[in-house]
Amino acid sequence: MEGEFLDFALRQNVDEIALEACFFDALDDDLCAEVKARLDDAGVDRVLGWGHPRDYGVAPSRKSWRA
């Protein structure tokens, strides 16, 4: 999956890629090294975010945003 995403993104000639750690094994050192090497080789900056795809209800509610 990660390889397919990187292939697609790099074909778009992007300058930066945002990676969400909840969608890949961010604790896999080999995978992270591979992703880093590919992005370094392509000269692409990256942003790493963490979050759960289902949120688990830990984020503030929309009601609290209005306060």
Q: Which residue has the higher pLDDT, 61 or 27?
A: 27
pLDDT digits (tens, 9 = 90+) for 37-47: 999 999 999 99
> In this predicted structure, what is the pLDDT of residue 42?
94
Q: What is the pLDDT of residue 33?
A: 93
CB neighbourhood size of 19 (10 A): 20
Q: Are 36 and 63 in contact (CB under 8 A)?
A: no
Say if residue 56 is exposed, middle or buried (CB neighbours under 10 Å; 0-12, 13-18, 19+). exposed
**In the predicted structure, residue 67 carries a pLDDT above the cut 90:** no
- pLDDT digits over 9-32, tens only? 999 999 999 988 878 888 899 999
